[in-house]
Amino acid sequence: MLPYGKQSISDDDVEAVVEVLRGDWLTTGPAVGRFEAELARWTGGVPCLAVTSGTAALHVAYVAAGVGPGDEVVTSPLTFVATAATAALRGARVVFADVRPDTGTLCPDAASAAVSGRTRAVTAVDYAGHPADYDELREVATRAGAVLVADAAHSIGSTYKGLPVGRLADLTTFSFFPTKTVTTAEGGAVAVADPERFRRAARFRNHGLVRDPAEQRDPGHGGWHQEVHEFGLNYRLPDVLCALGASQLRRLAAFRARRAGLVARYDALLAGVPGLTLPARRPYVEPSWHLYPVRVRDGRRGEVYDRMRAAGIGVQVNYIPAYWHPVFEDLGYRRGLCPEAEAYYAEQLSLPLFPDLSSAEQDRVVECLTSVLGS
């Protein structure tokens, strides 16, 4: 089965991990700081915190934003469920706003209509690697007195109007799952510009521990003493995985270029194919393509998915609208809430896209797709 996404591991990646395994630190050591510093080069200098997953990154971001019971978080339903689930776990009410029909990113007009006096955060999702409309969403968040969060799980290395993802929102989250552009096996990160939010995020990822005697309520016990003022969790990413991530980040420019080349080749090979809509791109955006999401029209998406899978081509669908999940249905959310997102989902199909995809393999994907659509 040709997968829709796959990691690219080099000998340098392997050696970076082996070097840590042969050293003194397996976790919470120097490789963590090196990885965070390397990542900050891609966020325009915004400080970063490594965590155990993209989901953990979202959880940490909502904590840093002060999201809690009684608050509302406005976000897109066209995303993996974690974008909304982590807000709900903080006790917030998730308010889903519709998406742009071409890019699948959060629609600023829909977000504006969804905010209220209880909105604590507006969370954009850079669907498929294409940054959301951040200037307009910043205005929406500012008018609402809310924090702007970027779920950039798909878009590391992307730019919007010349600015890197990581500098566009108050808090930006990344994922390093194996199908993403850069991997740490499992892992994620949060980019946080505000020092107080950074402090809160850093504490939360480490059980909420306070080690500085100047900040402790009952200091003086000794060098071992540490306190918890607010509950946190263990979201620390170990040195072994940070070493892999730092090595991968050194290849990010090459990964982006290769993915962009594959996307351009798909665009050329699939141009004008009947019944197919190709992904859109804004002229002021440089995406880091995580997915190549086509839309299969005329109600044929399910048929095309089944037949291509049967032919050994691992196409995928990304994603079921988040509020369709039973956990949200049980909370009272109903289908029909975001028509554009539901229409996008009904046609969406992700074709294989990863750096090691060969031209011959890509030709096979195109030939199979056009054959199925033409039959």
Q: Which residues are identified as catalytic?
A: 180
> Tokens standing for 34?
């090196």
Using DSSP, state whether 94 is helix, strand or coil: strand
Is the alpha carbon torsion for 330, 112, 60, 289 positive or negative? positive
The per-residue b/e assignment along 10-25, b for 16 or more CB within 10 angstroms, e otherwise, is: eeebeebbeebeeeee
**Do the beta carbons of residue 150 and residue 168 sit within 8 Å?**
yes
What are the backbone angles phi and psi of residue 71, rounded to the nearest 5°? -85, 165
Q: Residue 34 belongs to what H/E stretch?
A: helix 30-42
Q: Would you tell me how many other CB atoms lie within 10 Å of the CB of residue 337?
A: 17
> Tokens standing for 317?
């669908």
Site of tokens 């080690």: 211
d(CA 272, CA 268): 9
How many angstroms from the chain centroid is the CA of residue 4? 17
Q: Would you tell me how many other CB atoms lie within 10 Å of the CB of residue 326?
A: 7
- DSSP secondary structure of 142-202: HHHT-EEEEE-TT-TT-EETTEETTSSSSEEEEE--TTSSS--SS-EEEEE-SHHHHHHHH
Angle between helices 30-42 and 239-249 (to 10 degrees): 30
Look up residue 352 and give its DSSP letter.
P
SS (H, E, C) 318-340: CCCCHHHCHHHHCCCCCCCCCHH
d(CA 360, CA 362): 5
